[in-house]
Amino acid sequence: MDQIIIHVDMDAFFAAVEIRDNPALRGKPLIIGSLPHERGVVATCSYEARKYGVHSAMNIKEAYRRCPNGIYMHPNMDKYKAVSQQLHAIWNSYAAALEAVAFDEAYLDVTARAGDFEGARQIGQEIKRRIREELGLSCSVGVAYSKTAAKTASEEKKPNGYFEIETPEEFAALLANRDVRVLYTVGEMTAQKLHANGIHTVRDIREEPEKVVRLLGKHGQWLTRVAFGEDDRKVTPYNPQDAKSIGREVTFQKDVEDFSLLKDVLLLLSLCVDRRAKRVGLYGRGVTLKLTYADMRSITRSQLVFAADSPVSIFNRAAQMLQHVEQRPVRLIGVSIYNLSGEEGRQLSFHDILEEHAAREEQTLLSLLRQMQDRYGLDFAGHLEQIYKHDTLHKTVEYMRKHS
């Protein structure tokens, strides 16, 4: 036995937390995300809402069309993060390595702890019990010989499910007659391409691997392996140093034509990006500006810099790029840094050596925030810790939009 992997996936996580905290919501179609009159999508929804055809990532207007009597709520990200930390504490107590996929989903390598599938079964059931008793939530657990098989197993009996796949042969037999969409990494576009060429089921992939590789290249090679149950990937804990970029963006509830407002929003986004980067000891050597216009056309503009290592340096470069884009109504704005490096590996420069540089940057930032306070009547400098939070940032930006 090379490895035993458990995949844990919480059941309708955001909705489940809200129902736990407000039992009056139990049994009702609860949709977490934007409100029906707002722009946005469904983050998640209760299983009662799914009966109406509502699902995550669905446009909120379509969700309301399908389920007009549903209960719609904004997500409370701070609450969900806190519960996620509790989940990770439980998972980490059993795993030699843990690979978090999201707040509510992770792969656990329990090879050494379990010893065999009987031991893994006990661990899987204990995880379910602890999450139920300690957090008042339910999860679905898959136990298998590989990551792909473990994820497939956790999906097999949702919600509150448990399933095992011990061998590649079991995996192949289970999925043989199912649509290709059942395989990890097969999205809608890939499925359409396969279907158009006569590849409908997992069995079809196994019987015509050359055709699949010809159609999809390296992705096709991966799919042919997975169709036979082959997957030797290891559980790899997330390392912030591996991130390719760090960014933040906001979608406006109404299109914004005032580019001076967009510039002010860029400063708040730059503060959020810088804070997140410093938390993990990273800085960037490039800045990217992202805009989505009212017609849904998106553009990005990127520039390399000496060091995007402060909110002012990130903001200055993003604002400079904003001056040179087409000025028409904007739906979404975002900023990110890339070419990331660790602070410990950074080369000393005159900017680092001269302490007055940091003092000047701080004074520049305070001056910018005071100017914004004069425009909007908000104490930005005194409430940055709140503005960093997902919900407060969006509320602040919407207030700025309405009062610009």
Active site residues: 105
Pairing verdict, β 162-165 and 42-45: unpaired
For the chain, first and last CA: distance in Å?
63
Kindly state the tokens that stand for 12: 């309708």
Question: Which three-class secondary structure state does DSSP give residue 201?
Answer: strand
Q: Is 278 helix (H, G, I), strand (E, B) or coil?
A: helix
Dihedral angle, C-alpha 237, 239, 244, 250, nearest 10 °: 90
Measured distance CA(69)–CA(49) in Å, rounded: 10
What φ, ψ does residue 142 adopt, rounded to 5°?
Answer: -120, 135
- Is the peptide bond between 329 and the residue preceding it cis, with omega within 30 degrees of 0? no
CB 118 within 8 A of CB 203: no
Q: Where are the alpha helices (DSSP H) in 41-146?
A: 47-50, 60-66, 77-92, 111-114, 117-135
Give how far Cα 400 sits from Cα of 103, 169, 351, 368, Å: 30, 58, 34, 15
The residue with tokens 């029906």 is 36
